[in-house]
Structure 1
Amino acid sequence: MIDKPPKIMILYASYGDGHLRASKAVETCFHSKGIKDVVLLDLLAEAHPMLNELTKFIYLSSFKVLPAVYGAAYEITKDLPPKASFLRALNFFGTGKLKEALHLHEPDLVIHTFPQMTLPGMIKKTGRSLPLVNIITDFDVHARWLHPEIDRYYVATEDMKREMINRGVSGDRILASGIPLRPDFCHQPEETAEFRIKLNPDKKTVLLMAGAYGVMQGNRDICRTLLEKGDYQILAVCGRNRELYKDLESRFGEYPDFHLFGFVQEVSLLMQASDCIITKPGGITLSEALACRLPIFLYRPVPGQELNNARYLRNKGIAFIAEDAPSLCQGIDTLLLDEDRLSLVRAEMENLRRPEAAEVIVNDILEKWFGSETRKAPVEIGSARPRLVIH
C-alpha cells in the first residue's frame, strides 16, 4: 500500500488499433478515479522505429498476401513454454528504451496490453519488486502472453481462465474481467436517438467495419450484394484506408442507403444505431459489439488470433462466419427476420458481454496493490463528445 496516488505505466503496440483502444480505456478509468499519472508507451515503436514499421507492414500485409503463413506461425508458437528460445528472443527487443522509461517515470505498476514481455525478465535480474499485469485483448490465449513473472492476468472469458490454468498459470492470478472498453460502451449515449432519426426507419441498418486500417477484404462485393437486395442501409467504416474510402465512394456514393465514413472515434454511436455488424474479428471490436448486443457477422477471418476469435464466438452461437458475399447476405436475412433466433443470440451475448471491464480491472488493481478507496468512484461519462452526422 502507498500513501499517494500510484504511477501507472501501460505498454502497448500500434498493430491495428485495438491495443491502444484498450490502453486508453484503462487510462480513462484511472483518470476518473483521480489517478492522473498514467503513461502510455508504444515500446517497439519507441525503441526500434524502423523494425516496428517493418513488422507492422508485414502484419497488415498478412491480411492480403499469404495470410496462411501468418496463421501457421501463430499456431506453431501458440503453445510454446515461456522459456522457449523464440519467445526469449522476442522479449529482448526494447530493453534499452524500457530501462530509460522506468528511470524517467518510476511507475508503481506496469500493464501490458500487447504481448511484448521484455519487462519481466529485466525486472527479475535487477531484484526490484514491481507489479506486472497483462490484459489479454483477444478471446484466444497465445504463449506470448504467458510469463512466470506476471502477477495478474485479465482475460475476456472464464473459458480463457480455465485454459490458462490447464497451461500451468495459478487460478488466483487470473480474473475473467472482459476486455476493457471506452466508457461510452457502458451506457447508451444520448446522441443515439438523434442519430437514428437520420436513418431510414423502414430498413435494417448494417454496420460494415473494415478495421482501423481498412484491411478486411471483400468490402466492395459485400456492399454491392446488400444494396442490390434493397432491404438494407449500410454504414461503411473504412478506417485509415483512403484508397478503400475513395473506391467505395466512387462506386456507391450515389446510393441513398449508403453512408460512408473514414476513421471514426465514436464507434458506439454507429453500433448502437445498427441491427448487425460485418467486421474482422479483432478482440476489441468483438467486445464492443457484444457490449452493444449487436449480432456479429465475420467475413473471411484470417488465420491466427482473429480466426480463433471468430471460431470461439461462432461456437458460442454468437457470431456467424461467411466466406462469400451471397452467403453473408443470406445469413443476415435469416437472422434478422427470425425474432426467436435473434433473441437467442442476444441471450448468449449476455453471458459474454463485459462492458464495464475497464472498471473491473482498475478496481482490482487498486484494491490488490494500493488499498485505495478511490476504487469505489464511478466512471465519469464525458458529455462533450462530438456527434456523428450522416449527410
Structure 2
Amino acid sequence: MLSGSPKVLIMYASYGEGHYQASKALEASFHRSGITDVELLDLMAEAHPLLNEMTKFVYMQSFKTMPMLYGWVYNATKDLQPDTSLLSVLNSLGMRKLEQAIASIEPDLIIHTFPQLAMPKLLKKTGLKLPLINIVTDFDLHGRWVHPGVDRYYVATEELMQDLVRRGIPAERVLVSGIPLKPDFGRSPSMATEQLCRLDPSRRTILIMAGAFGVMQGIRDICETLLAKDNYQVIAVCGRNKELHRKLDQELGQHPHFHLFGYISEIAQLMQLSHCIVTKPGGITLSESLVSRLPIFVYRPVPGQELNNALYLESKGIAHIANDPGTLIRQIDGLLLNEERLAHVYGEIDLVRRPEAAKTIVNDIIEQWLTPAPSLAGSTSLL
C-alpha cells in the first residue's frame, strides 16, 4: 500500500515533439487528479547528450534525404524480440543515469512515452519492484515497445491490442485508451481563438502543418495552388524551421488569405478554426486532428511508422494520402466540396477519436497502482 503522496516518473525522448507532448498531457492529467509529484525525464539527453544530439540529427536528416532507407530499417526491425542483441544494447543506454534518477526521485511508478526500455533490465539488476507502463504513441507497433516486464500497455486502437496479444502480451495488460493529449483539443472556438487569424467566413480553412521541425516537403507549392482558388484560405505552421518560415513569408506573406505561423503553442486553437488538415502523420498530430474532428490529408509520408499511421487511418476512411500537389488538391476538392462525403468522414472520425485518453489512462493507473486497496496491497511492492 502507498504511504504519502505518490510519485510518478515519465520517461520520454526528444525525437520530434510528440513524445514530450504526450508526457505533458499525462502530467497535466495527473495534476488534475490530485497527484502533483510528477517528474519528466529525457533519459538519452541526460545520460548521453552528445550521442542524443547526433542520433536526433541523423533521425531528422533521414526523413529529409533518405526516407526509403529509414523505412527499410524500421520495417526490418519491426518484429524484433526483446531478448535480441540489438534491443539489449539499445535498452542498456542510460542505465547508470536512470539508476541515479530512481534513487533520487524514488518513484512509485514509471511511464514510458518512448520505447527506451532500460527499466526492465534495471529492475532485474537491482531487485527493485516498480510498475512499468508503456504509452504507445503511434497507430503502429514496433518491437521496441514490447517487453514482458512491462505491466500495462495503453494503445490507440483495438488492432494494436491484438498485435500485442499476438506478440505474447496478455490481453489483460492492454487497455485501448487512445493517445494522451492536452485537454484544449476538441473544444469549440472562443473569441480569443478567433482573434489568432482574421479569417474569411465564406472560405474553407485548410491547416497545413510541417511538423515541429518543419520537415514536410513541398509546402510552398501546396499553399500557392490552394490560394489560387477562390474558396480556400490557408493557415501554415512551419514549426522551428525558420528558413521555411522566411521563404513562405517572402513569397506568400502579403496574400490576404494566407496566415503564417512558426512554432506556436496554440495548435488546438488553429485546429478549431480549420475545416481540414494537411500534415505529416505523427501519432500525436493525427490524434489531435481526430479529436478536433478534422479530415486528414497526409502529404508524402515517410516510410516507417508515419506511413503506417497514415495507411491505418486511410483504411478507416479518415485520411487521404498524396505524393504530389495535384493529387492532394484533387483530394481536398473532392472532400470539402462534397457535403455527403464530408458527413461520412465525420462519422468515421467519431468512431475512432478518443478525446478523454489522458484522463482514461491516469484514472486506470490510479485505480491499479496508486490507490491503497486490499486487493492490491498484498501483490504490489513499491518504493
TM class, shorter-length: over 0.9
1:107 equivalent in structure 2: 107
In structure 2, do the counterparts of structure 1 residues 188 and 4 end up closer, same or farther at CA, with 3 Å as the change threshold? Answer: farther
Q: Hey, what does 2:338 align to over in structure 1?
A: 338
Q: Deviations over 1:285-325 (max 9, x none)?
A: 00000001100000000011000000000011000000111
Matches of 1:142 and 1:357 in 2, distance apart? 21
CA shift for structure 1 position 196: 8.2
Q: Which amino acid aligns with 2:165?
A: I
8 A contact 1:195–1:273 mirrored in 2: no
Q: Is this contact kept in 2: 1:192–1:273, CA < 8 A?
A: no
Alignment of 1:255-274 (within 5 A): 255-274=255-274
Do the aligned residues in 2 keep the contact of 1:17 with 1:212 (CA within 8 Å)? yes
Aligned residue pair count: 373
Amino acid corresponding to residue 176 of structure 1 in structure 2: V
TM-score (norm 2): 0.95
> Take 2:22 and 2:361, find their aligned partners in 1: how far apart are those partners?
11
Equivalent position of 1:314 in the other structure: 314
Q: In structure 2, the residue corresponding to 1:110 is in which secondary structure?
A: strand
CA contact (8 A) 1:137 1:156 kept: yes
Counterpart code for 1:190: S
What secondary structure sits across from 1:183 in the alignment?
A: coil
Residue 220 (structure 1) shift: 1.1
Aligned residues of 1:205 and 1:235 also touching (Cα < 8 A): yes
How many Å apart are 1:259 and its aligned residue?
0.4
Work out the CA distance in 1 between the residues paired with 2:230 and 2:238.
Answer: 22
TM-score, normalising length: structure 1: 0.93
Partner residue, 1:350: 350
Q: Cα gap change, 1:278/1:186 in structure 2, threshold over 3 Å: closer, same or farther?
A: closer
Q: What's the offset of the Cα at 1:111?
A: 0.2
How far 1:334 sits from its partner (Å)?
A: 0.4
Rounded to whole Å, the distance in 1 between the matches of 2:97 and 2:202 is 56
What is the CA–CA distance in structure 2 between the aligned matches of 1:192 and 1:311, rounded to whole Å? 35
- Change in 2 beyond 3 A, CA 1:91/1:247: same
Which whole-Å CA distance do the structure 1 matches of 2:188 and 2:339 have between them? 22
SS at match of 2:10: strand
SS of the residue aligned with 1:20?
Answer: helix
Residue identity in the other structure for 2:121 = G
**How far did 1:221 drift?**
1.0
CA distance in structure 2 between the partners assigned to 1:149 and 1:69 by the alignment: 31
8 Å Cα contact 2:186/2:272 also seen in 1: no
1:230-241 matched pairs, under 5 angstroms: 230-241=230-241
**Following TM superposition, by how much is the alpha carbon of 1:185 offset from its aligned partner in structure 2, in angstroms?**
1.4
Contact 2:203 2:231 in 1 (8 A): yes
Report the Cα distance in structure 2 between the residues aligned to 1:242 and 1:191, rounded to whole angstroms: 29
1:139-178 matches, cutoff 5 A: 139-178=139-178
Alignment of 1:60 with 2:21, yes or no, is no
**1:65 CA displacement:** 0.7
Gap change, CA 1:338 and 1:192, over 3 Å in 2: farther
Query: 2:378 maps to what in 1?
Result: none
User: Deviation of residue 186 (structure 1)?
Assistant: 5.0
Shift of 1:230: 2.9
Whether 2:226 is the aligned partner of 1:226: answer: yes
Per-residue CA distance 1:233-266 (angstroms, 9 max, x = gap): 1000000000000010011011000000001111
Q: Name the SS of the counterpart of 2:72 in structure 1.
A: helix
Alignment-mate amino acid for residue 224 of structure 2: R
Gaps of 5+ in 2: 374-383
Pairing 1:217–2:217 present: yes
